Amino acid sequence: TIGSQFEEINPEEENVDRFLNISIIPVHEKCTILRLPFLENFQAERYSLTFPNSFKMCLAYCRAFLNNAYCNAVLYSSKEGSCLLMRLHNTFNNSAKIMKSTAQLYFLINCEY
């Protein structure tokens, strides 16, 4: 059949903690971040694509290279080893379900030294 080369994708809901407290050692900060559904990334302004060696380095790039006035969200894919630095306006739907995905979207709520 024509479509046999493509797998049917049935997204599955993921049971995750939406709020995370994380230490970003490279920039000596502790941040509160919010995990958002992947679909929220479409409303974000994109700044730079980086290829960090870890999720924490992805967050550090956002904090160090494009201060909080610009970068306040990241779309991180461990499978691709990529990190998209973004600006997300606080107009997202916090009640939307988070579906399993190879890329995760995180919004930086607050960071302190």
Global pTM reads 0.78
Domain annotation covers residue 69: yes
The answer to whether the beta carbons of residues 75 and 105 sit under 8 Å apart is yes
Q: Domain range for residue 96?
A: 11-110
CATH of the domain at 15: 3.50.4
Q: Please check whether residue 4 lies inside any domain of the structure.
A: no
CA distances in angstroms from 19 to 30, 33, 49, listed in the order given: 13, 6, 24
Q: What is the pLDDT of residue 72?
A: 92
Question: How confident is the model at residue 38, as a pLDDT?
Answer: 83
pLDDT of residue 1: 43
Q: Using 50, 70 and 90 to split pLDDT, how confident is the model at 42?
A: confident
**Does residue 5 form part of some domain?**
no
Asked if the structure places residue 90 within a domain, the reply is yes
Q: Confirm if 16 and 98 have CB atoms less than 8 A apart.
A: yes
Give the C-alpha distances (Å, rounded to integers) separating 48 from 15, 17, 34, 77.
29, 27, 20, 14
- Element (H or E) spanning 23, and its range? strand 19-24
Answer yes or no: is 31 within a domain: yes
